[in-house]
Amino acid sequence: MSRSYIPHWMHWLGSPPNFYRFAGALRPWLLAAAIVAAVIGLYGGLVLAPPDYQQGDAYRIIFIHVPSAWMSLAIYVGMAIAGLIALVWRVKLAEVIAMESAPLGAAFTLITLVTGSLWGKPMWGTWWTWDARLTSELVLFFLYLGVIGLYHAFEDRRRGARAAALLALVGVVNLPIVHYSVQWWNTLHQGNTVDWMDLGKSSIAPAMLWPLLVMALATHLYYFASILGRARTGLLSLEGGKQWVRELVGAPSR
């Protein structure tokens, strides 16, 4: 892609020292907003929302489980897009963001699997079943681990990032399987309860819906705050010999 087709702000933000300063200024605000949203969402979900007429209070785990599941997919999409940019245009910042997203995505996916098991025991009578939704989510977890492992398998971190980005792109085929598994197959897992095209048609009471959406906002804000922090650290490690890093840490110029 010609540089003339890329907006000036993207050129500016793609510069490691510019991104480092920008991320450092923005991250505390995102983290604070994530904490506030999480407190409001958890209070709304665990205290204000009424019990479910079938599941009682056991359903309240959805305020952790569902936002984590959404994040497990959203982070993978972001990681794959950053990986594609890294492969095509060799943008160093894209490599860092893709690779630093993988551990965060793996963590959200693990939370999804664990909370799903905790919910499944009283609902289904078992901690685990090879249900299509559960199995495809487990595959997603292994894909994250594969990206992390492949990245660290190379001594040259940039080569490792490009190899892992390729694996991430291949793994994208699993995302529609995770999302549509409850529609394509007869599964134990309940169907989607939130209609993003029309929230008014969502099969969940408004008193339960708004805390769920606030928790989704909290997890997104937490991810953005975390990826900015991890990307800053990753850039410092990758650019350790550059002049701007040496000036930042107070090292003498060569």
Half-sphere exposure (Cβ direction) of 214: Cα atoms closer than 13 Å = 20
Two tokens, residue 106: 């793996």
Stretches in the chain below the pLDDT threshold 50: 1-2, 4
Q: What is the pLDDT of residues 178-223, one digit of tens each?
A: 988 877 666 656 667 775 555 656 778 899 999 999 999 999 999 9
Q: Considering only CA atoms, which of 11, 37, 51 is closest in space to residue 224?
A: 37
**Domain layout of the chain by residue ranges:** 22-48+58-191+211-249
Q: What is the pLDDT of residues 37-57, one digit of tens each?
A: 999 999 999 999 999 888 889
pLDDT at 1: 44
